[in-house]
Structure 1
């Protein structure tokens, strides 16, 4: 009886459900789009009532029940034996164009629809150029529906394959870094052949168009040991004056690219009559710039190489650092461009993923500056038609969107040092919204600061490390913290609450840490010893208590800190607001393995600088001149002893330290390039520890420090 009653109720339920579906479809049609056909038409005879019924249910609305009465237990419910999920997918695909865009996006994101061929692509995909002013909205849509990145990438990379006959020759296969990433025959770089050397016209390099100019770039693989001569033959033949290198020579103990330039300034190498000499080399935190003199048969050319060193394989670089890298390239182009120059050579390890990302960012920014448009999807399609593997993954494609968004959000934040006073006056004035430029900049920085999860900072949250943190909300991410390597006992770990911070000229130039607690006194000196830190900067002077124990001997004596480190006083000098000590740091070997091996620990020296004019509770020091003078003293000491990392100690590892690091980076930029960019300096400082420069007062004080340096120290140093 229960089964029979259930069968009798089913048609009534179907009628009700169909009425609900009809009303829902009407709402959708009224609100957004009009269906061109019923998406269920002709799909299921049990519901449609046959091919000629024309009704929601067949003729009387009960035909489905009458058929079921005569059905045997072994027969199928419908004529279609495919799984129900497959039938739904196929039905959705055929009527995809009739479903409103936002519903399509939701269905794609939840996996109800598959990413099909481009002919059935959803309208929300940015397959055509669009105004760069709408890019933030486009990125917001992509973040809400991440499936868009995957859909666009899959469709854009479905391009026609071209012939690779020359790359597949046996004589040329050994010249390729990656068998998958080889040039097409139709647009490969054809070298002038060498006499009596077969296939000497081949090099793994391709012409790639920009969005504005055909054959604007040469995308190449990094030279191998046997292809360095071919690389310089290409540079000379194509009259290239700029090389853009996007990989390290070594990465994870693997040779990514052979060094194809002389090792030392003044050194030279020669390849088939082409002489290459290194004239100048300039190092910044994330990239290097080299000037090379290339000569052949009495003709001399100058070639510049921009080498980005902060982009390990299978990772993404810091966007603001990569944009600064491109800005330096653009400045060189403006000052040195000649219409007769050949295309720049852009290469990573195999001339694929990272090369494609840089080309996509560079050419879209060119299009933005020229016409105010972006064409990310279209350019990926264009690149893939020119060379295999340019942008190799969805993550790399997503990075291009994010880099362009950050460029538009931040804009140009640098200015010449000669305009410093005028710029600070302008920044202090409030606009129509009642906020000054200082406030708007700092709000932007806060919005763009990365957020780390507990998983990112797992080391500091381990049970045996948690007690080493003054504040469990301020724990360093594992990827950016220094690991202690000196063995101090079986119960000691490699953890200290410290984080690396990049400077302007060196990566990981600073190590920011908190004032040690009683059970971590040995750890801070292990940090000094393990990382060859020649300078320790202490930005506070708390009274000695249990919470703030002294961690260096102030008098002429030696003290032991932890089980293995001994600090011996060598000299000291005290000024009104600054005190300095020079110590000799020795280490006792307690590891049985090292003792049996006869290993002896070297003695190292370091200088400790303490600022005395920044009392507790004060947001800024009472003497700006003293802080700038301290920075100068540290720099002079490092010039004498080597540029190891500087340990910066603040009471909590958050306040004060960011000001010191950011202001130092700005002063370095003023000295080296005559520019000021506090905005990007603070962003760099906050990459690995978002709590640095965490107040508007500290942010503005960074500008004040740079101004004080320019007015009172810069001219003296220039004269000297």
Structure 2
């Protein structure tokens, strides 16, 4: 609250918490849930009573932000980290536990050597705050005593602050997130362990290989089971007016929720005709929310919709992992002398650069006298059955990164025949390896599958 921000910062100064954990957004459902108590950028200072607050850095991830704040009082300076979870929905609880678990692990990893308590807050300071604190307490209990007592944990918390873990939905989510954390604790691995695990995976006579195979199979089956339990509503894609817009009726996006539902994950581009349905979904990258669009290769009757989507979502690079079928219209022009027109869009091929396995096509896309360049990156002779070599994959990712930087790091559209086998995680997981030494491969696959059946 605006009237208590000075007191809030005075409490932080006096109590010296190891970090601040924020589990709400400033604005939710068009209502202010929390007063912003930090500067917007590194060039601004804010004063609360006799405490001055400035921001040293802000590190954005897909579901949270980590800010390093400098606070100063009477000439003494201190640093405080703020971990801000931004993906909690306006109503209810998160659909997926993985982002919340990653958020928790980030905090624990970076603060376990620092003395002091965590300062946790949401809006009222009971529901989400209580859920996070209970999660932390129960995970420590599981590690120390090999058992968890949800009832006793929440009861003790409520004895100190009423309404901690405020709703039944939050209490159920607490059970789910603890179960998910404990069941998948063995899945993360260091990058240096992956090669050994994969090398032994195919050696049938090796004892470790059997164990590794079992581990990989168990992990993969758990992903399928988890996503199956989600029960996605895909009825919109099955409607008669939409069925001919899908290459496969087994790979459909979630139905578009009402406009008031902020948890929307489907794409609804405004197109010149039809009802706006397109077989495509947004997928988070490791560092950026909704970085990827996963979709099928466009059909003849969805070409205009496809390019409208590319325009509306400011896609700068299209990654194509399957060739177009021989009897279908090729959505990039086949040569630079024959522009293609789809509705209001005119597509011109500018240049083509090819190697044995990779092709980069520069296009100029024009609509209503407004033009911009888009790159199409194609993997040549790529087989779903055969593993692509590490060298080829890295070359492809380097080309993708180069084009991304050249075009301003806008969204990436990843296409394949059905839109599901498109390996979105290639680029995403490489970023993980570069930035973090713990590798949690299951997270990207699960998040992608949740978005598309």
TM over 0.5: same fold? Answer: yes
The structure whose RCO (Cα within 8 Å, separation 6+) is larger is: 2
Distance 2:341 2:359 in 1: 21
Deviation of the 1:396 alpha carbon = 1.1
Distance 2:266 2:224 in 1: 22
Secondary structure of the equivalent of 1:608?
A: strand
Q: Is the 8 A contact 1:529 1:604 kept in 2?
A: no
Residues 427 and 623 of structure 1: CA distance in aligned 2, closer, same or farther (over 3 Å): closer
Residues 423 and 543 of structure 1: CA distance in aligned 2, closer, same or farther (over 3 Å): closer
Deviation of the 1:495 alpha carbon = 1.0
Q: Is the 8 A contact 1:516 1:549 kept in 2?
A: no
Deviation of the 1:285 alpha carbon = 1.4
Deviation of the 1:289 alpha carbon = 1.1
Q: Is the 8 A contact 2:268 2:276 kept in 1?
A: yes
Please tell me whether residue 611 in structure 1 is matched to residue 376 in structure 2.
no
- The aligned residue for residue 686 of structure 1 is 449
- The aligned residue for residue 261 of structure 1 is 38
Secondary structure of the equivalent of 1:373?
A: coil
Distance 2:360 2:416 in 1: 16
- The aligned residue for residue 625 of structure 1 is 391
Distance 1:290 1:662 in 2: 27
Distance 2:331 2:394 in 1: 25
- The aligned residue for residue 309 of structure 1 is 86
Distance 2:147 2:196 in 1: 33
Q: Is the 8 A contact 2:201 2:212 kept in 1?
A: no
Greater CA drift, 381-390 or 296-305:
381-390
Secondary structure of the equivalent of 1:629?
A: helix
Secondary structure of the equivalent of 1:302?
A: strand
Distance 1:409 1:609 in 2: 38
Q: Is the 8 A contact 2:230 2:450 kept in 1?
A: no
Q: Is the 8 A contact 1:449 1:686 kept in 2?
A: yes
- The aligned residue for residue 96 of structure 1 is none
Question: Which of 269, 273, 280 is equivalent to 1:484?
Answer: 269
Alignment of 1:169-318 (within 5 A): 224-317=1-94, 318=96
Deviation of the 1:419 alpha carbon = 3.8
Deviation of the 1:421 alpha carbon = 3.4
Question: Which of 355, 367, 385 is equivalent to 1:587?
Answer: 367
Distance 1:419 1:467 in 2: 45
Question: Which of 66, 85, 105 is equivalent to 1:327?
Answer: 105
Deviation of the 1:558 alpha carbon = 5.4
Deviations along 1:85-108, whole A, 9 cap, x unmatched?
xxxxxxxxxxxxxxxxxxxxxxxx
- The aligned residue for residue 380 of structure 1 is 154
Distance 2:281 2:145 in 1: 43
Q: Is the 8 A contact 2:304 2:342 kept in 1?
A: yes
Distance 1:468 1:543 in 2: 16
- The aligned residue for residue 526 of structure 1 is 308
Residues 273 and 624 of structure 1: CA distance in aligned 2, closer, same or farther (over 3 Å): same
Distance 1:503 1:637 in 2: 17
Residues 639 and 410 of structure 1: CA distance in aligned 2, closer, same or farther (over 3 Å): same
What's the TM-score once normalised by structure 1's chain length? 0.58
Residues 327 and 433 of structure 1: CA distance in aligned 2, closer, same or farther (over 3 Å): closer
- The aligned residue for residue 569 of structure 1 is 349
Please tell me whether residue 399 in structure 1 is matched to residue 173 in structure 2.
yes
Q: Is the 8 A contact 1:572 1:581 kept in 2?
A: yes
What's the TM-score once normalised by structure 2's chain length? 0.91
Alignment of 1:341-380 (within 5 A): 341=116, 343-380=117-154
Q: Is the 8 A contact 1:535 1:606 kept in 2?
A: yes
Deviation of the 1:320 alpha carbon = 1.2
Please tell me whether residue 661 in structure 1 is matched to residue 446 in structure 2.
no
Please tell me whether residue 514 in structure 1 is matched to residue 296 in structure 2.
yes
Q: Is the 8 A contact 1:427 1:437 kept in 2?
A: no
Distance 1:388 1:313 in 2: 22
Unaligned runs of 5+ in 2: 256-263
Deviation of the 1:410 alpha carbon = 0.8
Deviation of the 1:430 alpha carbon = 4.7
Secondary structure of the equivalent of 2:386?
A: coil
Question: Which of 528, 532, 535 is equivalent to 2:317?
Answer: 535
**Alignment root-mean-square deviation, CA:** 2.2
Distance 1:605 1:419 in 2: 41
Residues 257 and 458 of structure 1: CA distance in aligned 2, closer, same or farther (over 3 Å): farther
- The aligned residue for residue 259 of structure 2 is none
Q: Is the 8 A contact 1:413 1:680 kept in 2?
A: no
Q: Is the 8 A contact 1:670 1:676 kept in 2?
A: yes
Deviation of the 1:271 alpha carbon = 1.4
Distance 1:444 1:371 in 2: 26
Distance 2:177 2:212 in 1: 30
- The aligned residue for residue 413 of structure 1 is 187
Please tell me whether residue 447 in structure 1 is matched to residue 230 in structure 2.
no
Distance 1:635 1:523 in 2: 26
Distance 2:230 2:180 in 1: 19
| Residues matched between the structures, number | 440
Secondary structure of the equivalent of 1:675?
A: coil
Deviation of the 1:451 alpha carbon = 4.6
Deviations along 1:67-87, whole A, 9 cap, x unmatched?
xxxxxxxxxxxxxxxxxxxxx
Deviations along 1:555-607, whole A, 9 cap, x unmatched?
1145344322111223332222111122222224xxxxxxxxxxxx7433211
Residues 554 and 626 of structure 1: CA distance in aligned 2, closer, same or farther (over 3 Å): farther
Residues 225 and 240 of structure 1: CA distance in aligned 2, closer, same or farther (over 3 Å): same
Residues 573 and 426 of structure 1: CA distance in aligned 2, closer, same or farther (over 3 Å): closer
Distance 1:433 1:625 in 2: 28
